[in-house]
Structure 1
Amino acid sequence: MHFGVFNVMQQRFASVAPDQVVHEAVDQARTAEQLGFDSCWFPEHHSSNYSLCPSPLLMVAHCAAATDRIRLGTGVIVAPLQKPIRVLAEIGITDILTDGRLDLGIGAGYQPFEFERFGVDLEANKQMTFELLDMIEDGLTADSFSYAGKHFQQPPTSIPVRPTQQPLPPIWLVGSDPAFHERAATNGYAVFVSGLLGRPESIVKLRGRVETAFERAGKSASALRIGLLRYAFVGRNRAEARQYAENALYQTRIAAALRNRREHVHDSYFVDELPFKGEPSVDELLDRLIIGDVETCIERASREIRDAGVTDLVLQAKLGDLPHALAMQSLRLWMEEVVPGIERELGQPISEINRVQVP
C-alpha cells in the first residue's frame, strides 16, 4: 500500500497571490517527503483559477531539486493539448532531473473551457490520448521513430534525451473509461481513477470495472496497480473538518461548471462558484468521505482500502482557501496517527496491504 498527496494548486480568492499558491505547493511536496509519503502529484489546467499549474512536468522538475526520495507524478499530462515531440523530450529530461522518480500520469482532459482555448476538439480526446501513448512508447524506446495518426503526425525523428527509468517511467492511465482500462491492461500501465466525491460503494464498483477490463485482456487482477484520488482530511475538531468539506464542495462546483459549459469567468480567470443539480451538502460530505478526526479517518480509510483493493491512495489535502498550515497538519496526522491505525484495523503492515503480485 502506498500513500500519495495531490495538490491542485487552486486560487479561490484574488487576495491570495499566485506565487503563494506555487510556493505552498512546493512546500507540500517537501513536507510530504519528510512525513514519509510515497508520491506527490501535480495536475495540468489552463486559464482559470481552478488550478494554477499549466505544466505538471515543470512542477515535478522543480520539486525534484527540493526533495530526495519521494516519487513525483503528473496527474495528469492532458494528452490532446500537447505537441508530441516537445512533451516526449520533456518527459525524458524530467526523469533525468528526478533521478528516475517520475511517475507519468496521462489523461484525456475533460474541460471544454480549456480545449476551446487551445483550439482542440474535445470529442477527439480519447483517440488523441491513445495516439500520444503510441508515440511515447515508440519515441522514447526506438533509435528513431515516425508516426502517422489521425491527429498527430511525426516525420522520422530521434529523441536524444531518454528517461533514467528504462524502458520508460511507470505510466498511469487516468480516467474511468473502460477503453482506458483495457489499454492499461494490454500495455502494462497502472490505472489512476478519481473518486473525490464518490460514495464508498461506487469506489468498489469502479474497482470491479477495472478488474473486468484486465481479465478481458487476459491479465490477472492481482498484478493490477490502481491509484485512487480522494478528498481526505484529518482534523483536530469538527470546525476544521467542516472547513475542509466546504472547500471540497467549492472545488466540485467549479469543476462541474468547467465540465458542463456553465462557467462564468470574472476578473479575467476566476470561475464563479455555482451550485449544481444534485450536489451533496457539506454535512453529507462529512458523513461519507474520509474527513474527520483520527478515528473517523482510520475507520473510513480502512474500509475503502479493504473493500476497493486500491494499491495507492492519493489524498488531496490542500484545496480552495484551506489554510496551508491546516493542510500540512492533516498530512502529519495522517502519517503519524491514521496510518498506524489502518495497520491495526487491517492486521497487516502497510507494505503488505493490497500488495501487487508481480507475475
Structure 2
Amino acid sequence: MEFGIFMLMQQRGYHQTSDQVLRAAVEQTVAADQAGFDTAWYAEHHFSNYGLCPSPLMMVSHVAGLTKRIRLGSAVCVLPMYHPARLLAEAGFCDAISNGRLELGIGSGYQNYEFERFGVKIEDAPAIFHEFLEVLKKGMTQKGFTYEGQHLRFPLSSISMRAVQKPMPPIWIATGNPETQALAVREGHSLFVTALLNGADRLRQMRDGLAAIAAKEGRDIDDTRVGLLRCAFASDNDAEITSYLENARYQRRISEALKFRRAHSDDGFLVREEASPNDIPFDQMRANLPVGSVDQVIERMVEEIRILKPKHVAIQVQPGDFDARATLRQIELWGNRIIPAIRKELGVRGPASSIAAE
C-alpha cells in the first residue's frame, strides 16, 4: 500500500508569487521524502493560475537532487502538447538522474484554453494520445524504432538518453474514459482515478465500473495498480479544516470553469472564481471526504481503501492558497501517524523504502 502527495501548485491571487508557489512545492517534496511518503506527483498546466508547473519532468529533475528515496512522478504529462522525441529523451534523463525513481504519468488533457495556445485541436487529443503511447513504448524498449501513424511519424530513430528502469519506467494513465481504462488494464499500465469531492458511494461506483472493465478484458482489476487522488486533511482545528475545504472547492470551481469553457479572466491569467452548478455544501464535503481528527481520517481512509482497493493513494496537500506551514505539518502528521495506522489497520505493508523510513 503506497501513499503519495499531489501538488497542483496553484496561485490563487497576486498575494502569492510564482516563485513562492514553486519553492513551497519543493519544500513539500523534501518534507514528504523525510516523512516516508512513497511518491511525489506534479501536475502540468499552462497559461493560467490553476496550476503553475509547466513541466513535471523539470520538477522531477530538480527535486531528484534534493531527495533520497521518494519516487517522483508526473501527474500528468499532457501528451498532445509534446513532441514524442523530446518527451522520450527527457523522461530517460529524469529516470537516470533520479537513479530510477521516475513514475511516468500521462494523459490526453482537457483544457481547450491550453490546447489553443499550443496549436493543437482538442478533438484530436484522444487519437494523438493513443499514438503517442505506442511511440513511448517503442522508444523506451527498443534501441531503434520506427512509427507510422495518422498524427505521428518516425523514421528509424534512437533515443540517446535512456531510462535505467527496465523495460521502462512505470506508466500511469490518468483517465475517466472507459476505453482508455480498458487499454491500461489490457497493457498492464497503472491507472490514476479520482472521486473529486464525492464520497463513498462514488468510490463504490468506480470500483464496480473498473471491475467490469477488467472482466471484459479477461482480467481481474486487482491485478492493475490503481491509484486514487484524494483530498484529505487531519486536524483538531476546525478553522484549518474549513480553510482546506474552501480551497478544495476553489480548486474544483476553477477546474470546471476551464474544462467547460466558461472561465473568465480580467488579465488572461488569473481565472475568476465563480460559483459552480456542481458546488457541494461544506457540510456535505465534510461528510464526503476524509477530513477531521486524526482518528476520523484514519477510519475514513481505511473505509475508502476497502471499497476501491487502490494500491496507491495520493493526497492533495495544498489546494488553492492553503497555508504552507499547515501543509508541512500535515505531511509530517501523515508520515508519522496516519499512514502507519492505516497500514496497520489494513494489515498491509508499504514498499521496502517506506518500511525503512517508518
TM-score scaled by length of structure 1: 0.95
AA in 2 matched with 1:57 = L
Task: Give the equivalent residue in structure 2 for 1:239.
Answer: 239
Task: Give the equivalent residue in structure 1 for 2:355.
Answer: none
Cα separation, 1, equivalents of 2:120 and 2:203: 31
Task: Give the equivalent residue in structure 1 for 2:297.
Answer: 297
Is it true that 1:105 corresponds to 2:90 in the alignment?
Answer: no
Pairwise CA distance, 1:152:
1.5
AA in 2 matched with 1:284 = Q
Whether the 8 Å contact between 1:45 and 1:51 is mirrored in structure 2 is: yes
Is it true that 1:116 corresponds to 2:126 in the alignment?
Answer: no
Cα separation, 1, equivalents of 2:336 and 2:201: 27
Whether the 8 Å contact between 2:265 and 2:272 is mirrored in structure 1 is: yes
Task: Give the equivalent residue in structure 1 for 2:317.
Answer: 317
Q: Deviations over 1:274-303 (max 9, x none)?
A: 111131022221221012221221121111
Task: Give the equivalent residue in structure 1 for 2:135.
Answer: 135
1:335-350 superposed matches below 5 A? 335-346=335-346, 348-350=347-349
Q: Deviations over 1:225-264 (max 9, x none)?
A: 1000011111231111000000000000000100000111
Is it true that 1:332 corresponds to 2:335 in the alignment?
Answer: no
Pairwise CA distance, 1:204:
2.1
Task: Give the equivalent residue in structure 2 for 1:255.
Answer: 255
Pairwise CA distance, 1:337:
2.3
Task: Give the equivalent residue in structure 2 for 1:184.
Answer: 184
Cα separation, 2, equivalents of 1:276 and 1:350: 40
1:168-207 superposed matches below 5 A? 168-207=168-207
SS in structure 2 of the partner of residue 41 of structure 1: strand
SS in structure 2 of the partner of residue 271 of structure 1: coil
Pairwise CA distance, 1:205:
1.5
Cα separation, 1, equivalents of 2:310 and 2:112: 30
Is it true that 1:161 corresponds to 2:169 in the alignment?
Answer: no
Query: Using a 3 Å threshold, how does the CA distance of structure 1 residues 193 and 24 change in structure 2: closer, same or farther?
Result: same
Is it true that 1:35 corresponds to 2:39 in the alignment?
Answer: no
Whether the 8 Å contact between 1:43 and 1:76 is mirrored in structure 2 is: yes
Whether the 8 Å contact between 2:103 and 2:171 is mirrored in structure 1 is: yes
Is it true that 1:3 corresponds to 2:3 in the alignment?
Answer: yes
SS in structure 1 of the partner of residue 325 of structure 2: helix
Q: Deviations over 1:290-320 (max 9, x none)?
A: 1222122112111101111111010001111
Whether the 8 Å contact between 1:77 and 1:105 is mirrored in structure 2 is: yes
Of 251-260 and 288-297, the range deviating more from structure 2: 288-297
Cα separation, 1, equivalents of 2:278 and 2:70: 38
Of 131-140 and 273-282, the range deviating more from structure 2: 273-282
Task: Give the equivalent residue in structure 2 for 1:351.
Answer: 350
Q: Deviations over 1:41-75 (max 9, x none)?
A: 00110000000001000001111011010000000
SS in structure 2 of the partner of residue 270 of structure 1: coil
Task: Give the equivalent residue in structure 1 for 2:93.
Answer: 93
Pairwise CA distance, 1:146:
1.8
Whether the 8 Å contact between 2:343 and 2:350 is mirrored in structure 1 is: no
Whether the 8 Å contact between 2:222 and 2:309 is mirrored in structure 1 is: no
SS in structure 2 of the partner of residue 124 of structure 1: helix
Q: Deviations over 1:304-351 (max 9, x none)?
A: 0111111101000111111111111112222222224324543x1443
SS in structure 1 of the partner of residue 278 of structure 2: coil
Contiguous gaps of at least 5 residues in structure 2: 352-358
Pairwise CA distance, 1:95:
0.5
Whether the 8 Å contact between 1:234 and 1:331 is mirrored in structure 2 is: no
Cα separation, 2, equivalents of 1:173 and 1:138: 17
Cα separation, 1, equivalents of 2:350 and 2:38: 11
Contiguous gaps of at least 5 residues in structure 1: 353-359
Whether the 8 Å contact between 2:70 and 2:101 is mirrored in structure 1 is: yes
Structure 1 segments of 4+ aligned residues over 6 angstroms from their partners: none
Cα separation, 1, equivalents of 2:278 and 2:293: 27
Pairwise CA distance, 1:207:
2.2
AA in 2 matched with 1:181 = Q
Cα separation, 1, equivalents of 2:274 and 2:159: 45
Whether the 8 Å contact between 1:175 and 1:194 is mirrored in structure 2 is: no
Q: Deviations over 1:24-55 (max 9, x none)?
A: 10111100010010000001100000000010
Task: Give the equivalent residue in structure 1 for 2:274.
Answer: 274
AA in 2 matched with 1:127 = A
Is it true that 1:306 corresponds to 2:306 in the alignment?
Answer: yes
Task: Give the equivalent residue in structure 2 for 1:54.
Answer: 54
Number of aligned pairs?
A: 351
Task: Give the equivalent residue in structure 2 for 1:228.
Answer: 228
Is it true that 1:213 corresponds to 2:213 in the alignment?
Answer: yes
AA in 1 matched with 2:184 = A
AA in 2 matched with 1:196 = L
Task: Give the equivalent residue in structure 2 for 1:17.
Answer: 17
Whether the 8 Å contact between 2:76 and 2:107 is mirrored in structure 1 is: yes
Task: Give the equivalent residue in structure 2 for 1:355.
Answer: none
Pairwise CA distance, 1:143:
2.0
SS in structure 1 of the partner of residue 350 of structure 2: helix
Whether the 8 Å contact between 2:8 and 2:43 is mirrored in structure 1 is: yes
SS in structure 2 of the partner of residue 11 of structure 1: coil
CA RMSD of the aligned region, Å?
1.4
Q: Percent identity?
A: 40
Q: Deviations over 1:102-127 (max 9, x none)?
A: 00101011111111111211112211
